[in-house]
Amino acid sequence: MTRSEPAAVPVDPLLEPNVQRVVAVVDEIPDVVTLRVVPVEGRPFGFLPAQVSMVGAFGVGEAAISISSPPTETTFHEYTIRRAGAITSALTRLRPGDQLWVRGPFGVPWDLDLDGRDVVIAAGGIGLAPLRSAVYRVIEQRARYRRVVLVVGARSASLLLYAGAYDAWRDRGIEVVTTVDVADPGWDGRVGFVPAVVEELDLDAGNTSALLCGPDVMMRLTADGLVARGVPAEEVQLTLERNMQCGNGLCGHCQLGGLIVCRDGPVVRYPAVAPEFAVPGR
Amino acid sequence: MDLVQTDVATDRWVLRGLDRLIEALVGRFDEVIGPVVLDGVVRLQPIESADDLPIGIADEQAPATYRLRRDASALRFSYGLGPDSLKSLVHPPRSPVWTMRRRDGSLVVDAAHHPTHERAVIGARACDIDGLRVLERTQTGGDHADPAFRANRNGLFVVAVDCTHPAPTCFCANTGTGPSARDGHDIAMTELETRDGAVYVLRAGSERGRALIDELQLERASSELIRRAAREPGVAARGQPRSLPANAPLIAKLAEHPQWDDVAERCLACGNCTAVCPTCFCTDMEDVVSLDGDGATRVRVWDTCFSMEFSRVGPAPIRGSVTERYRQWLSHKLGTWHDQFGESGCVGCGRCITWCPVGIDLTAEIAALAAPAEAAR
Ligand code: SF4
Ligand code: FES
């Protein structure tokens, strides 16, 4: 038996970190910042709306963050990050000039081939972040769709994400409906949870498609409401947030029943998760 | 790893004692791993000669029980599985992913290199070899194969031994994964006790296994030995008391059943079962910062779905209760593994039963879950 020479195994680029530099930081709402980043070498990779990257802070770790910039923007990417644990705290402390690393993009994007349909986009809290690149894409290709309604909910008016952009989106043909759980004096939008506000929209149900992102319970109630009104369950897409340690389908953390969310999601159609969503703790 | 069909079907060789085989392995591989008694437990450890292997050892295994005792035999494999599976060789508890250094504000990455480490393991059991295949599918079967796993697996030369003394916690006859190695090995042997001591009937499972047998210039086995080798493992496995029913995948996916709370009352959420499982693959990432603060090594470490942190998203875990976490483990292992990877995650080795400190037995849990919820109340 001859002994084989030790051969180095080729490495998948998604397994290798790409070093990038922060070029701008926007404070969005309390505890939420948007980092604009560019690769130290080369150009940003292409991506589709709702795709995710593992974004890493030196010595701390990586978190899965969806890319929120326009998919047509080829010079930089933006990541909107909420400070929640050690990793996101480190990421949200970065300043222009600081370096981080990115592995991505991965995951199933929104299906935006919804020509001739009405599109309801519903976001709870920071759930608007994985939807923003979809909003940009819909604006860019606005003529493909009929009515486009964006419902954005937050606990209070000061927590509405990207609020400065809503008027510009309205100018481009998106109906933007805002709702808060608690109204401050002077608030003239809606009061109530996202599912209830979506419930009240006047819809052509059979011709409606929906994109949902927010806490599981918000997506479940919104999806159930839409389906009850006659929107086909298959036409309801949602994007799942789970603990992701690898993004490569290897670490097991992001499972939801039979789904490996980094591989089979984050965007799924409602029937794929409805049974799991009906049981808490899955 | 091409299976040499004709060899597997017909050719058998005989070896008296293991000295020559282990000498040959030690001469050819960077490392040879085999069963070694350590602190009263059979572990997988580096060995240098046949003398390192146990001799005349029997084991007692039961839920939450593992004990070794001496017996008078000259056999080296007269006991069931120890806690280490082949997982610890190809998917070790800690493995480096990369090192990053910070120099003048810039990050520089040194990707970990994964040279193929040429190793042989002797004494691998059939269920573990199948577990290796199941594990391999999780780590290399998708779009982003783990290079470290691949390198470890490619370098592994597997010498299997058929189980002639399975533990009562084993249920490979039921899962169809044992007691005799069918594929995935390079060489397989059956250990038989004869008047002249232990003899080994060998068969080749791959070209390189066959090449090693040829180099050792072994004698052909007699038809009497071949008959015994074909019969004895099966006879030994016939007494296995445990099994899973054919509908276990469905039962394990039950969302609501009072048995989930019942088992959660007993489960300590220690994660022993996931650590000893040959297919539990979940890992976490750790960043280990150097003392000067300018280097950080990313290390992949075994994790367990029994930990509270495992499912944390934002401020809270998704599976906060032990009920939810035990349910996740069992429904994944026996149920949703089929959805994710097209097969069961259980190979019937029974380690999770032996090594659970409170003796939780998944076959008994499935039996209880199979009873209608009303009857269980
Ligand atoms: S089933 Fe047993 S081994 Fe597994 S986590 Fe619970 S107590 Fe630990
Ligand atoms: S994030 Fe690791 S498997 Fe999905």
Query: Is residue B165, in this structure, part of any structural domain at all?
Result: yes
Rg from Cα positions in chain B: 22
What integer pLDDT is reported at residue A219 of this predicted model?
A: 97
Average pLDDT estimate for B315-344 = 96
| Proportion of chain B above pLDDT 70, given as a percent | 96
Model pLDDT, residue B111? 80
CA gap B129, B43 in Å, rounded: 16
Helix (H, G, I), strand (E, B) or coil at A122: strand
B324 in a structural domain: yes
CB contact under 8 A, A12 and B147: yes
For an interface test with B, the pick among A253, A262, A268, A273 (most B C-beta atoms closer than 10 Å) comes out as: A253
In a domain, B243, yes or no: no
Supply the ipTM of this predicted assembly. 0.91
User: Which pLDDT does position B9 carry in this prediction?
Assistant: 56
Number of structural domains found in chain B:
2
Give the mean model confidence (pLDDT) for residues A253-280. 95
DSSP characters over A32-62: EEEEEEEESSS-PPP--TT-EEEEEETTTEE
Query: Does B7 fall in a domain?
Result: no
**Comparing C-alpha atoms, which of B132, B114, B116 is closest to residue B44?**
B132
Distance CA B7, CA B210 (A): 8
**Share in percent of chain B as helix, strand, coil (round to 5):** 35, 25, 40
Residues with CB under 6 A from ligand 1: B 267-273, 306, 356-358, 360
Residue B373 has a pLDDT of 66
**Token pair for B54:** 């146990």
Q: Does A84 touch chain B (CB under 8 A)?
A: yes
- Check residue B377 and give its pLDDT: 45
Residue nearest to atom 2 of ligand 1 (CA): B356
3-state DSSP assignment of residue A272: helix
Q: Which domains does chain A have, with CATH numbers?
A: 13-106 (2.40.30.10), 118-240+269-277 (3.40.50.80)
Q: Are residues B195 and B79 in the same domain?
A: yes
Average pLDDT over every residue of B130-138: 98
Q: Mean pLDDT check: name the lowest of A45-54, B6-15, B88-97.
A: B6-15
Q: Per the domain annotation, does B67 fall within a domain?
A: yes
Give yes or no for a cis peptide into B93 (omega within 30° of 0): no
Round the average pLDDT of chain B to a whole number and report it. 94
Is the distance from CB of A107 to CB of A53 less than 8 angstroms? Answer: no
Domain membership of residue B28 as a residue range: 13-96+103-238
- B171, B206, B238 — which closes off a domain? B238
Q: What is the pLDDT of residue B7?
A: 45
* Atom of ligand 1 lying closest to residue B322 CA: 6
Q: How far is the CA of B336 from the centre of ligand 2 (A)?
A: 15
Res B2 pLDDT > 50:
no
**Does the structure show a pLDDT above 50 at A4?**
no
- Is the residue at B347 inside a domain? yes
Whether the Cβ atoms of residue B96 and residue B298 lie closer than 8 Å to each other: yes
The number of the ligand nearest the C-alpha atom of A252 reads 2
- Give me the amino acid identity at B353: I
Span A139-151, mean pLDDT?
A: 97
Q: Do A58 and B311 touch (CB under 8 A)?
A: no
Flag the least confident range among A9-13, A71-75, A137-141, A162-166: A9-13
| Cis, peptide link before residue B179, omega less than 30° from 0 | yes
Give the C-alpha separation, A23 to B108, whole Å: 19
* Alpha-carbon span A144 to B124, nearest angstrom: 60
Per-residue pLDDT at A85 exceeds 70: yes
Verify that B263 and B186 share a domain, yes or no.
Answer: no
3-state SS assignment for residue A163: helix
Task: Please tell me which of the candidates A17, A100, A258 has its beta carbon nearest to residue B336.
Answer: A258
pLDDT over 90 percentage in chain A: 89
Bridge partners, B283 (sequence order): B302
Indicate if the alpha-carbon torsion angle B214, B218, B223, B228 is positive or negative. Answer: negative
pTM for the model: 0.93
pLDDT of residue A71: 95
Closest CA to B270 of B225, B304, B233, B219: B304
pLDDT tens-digit map of B150-200: 999 999 999 999 999 999 999 999 999 999 999 999 999 999 999 989 999
The residue from B191, B215, B238 where one domain ends is: B238
B46 and B194 share a domain? yes
Residues B299 and B319 in one domain: yes
One-letter identity of residue A229:
R
Q: Coil, strand or helix: which one is B288?
A: strand
How far apart are the C-alpha atoms of B161 and B202, rounded to whole Å? 9
pLDDT value, residue A12: 66
Classify strands B13-16 and B197-204 as parallel, antiparallel or unpaired.
Answer: antiparallel
Mean pLDDT confidence for B212-234: 95
Measured at the alpha carbon of residue A153, what is the angle toward residues A150 and A157, in degrees to the nearest 5? 115
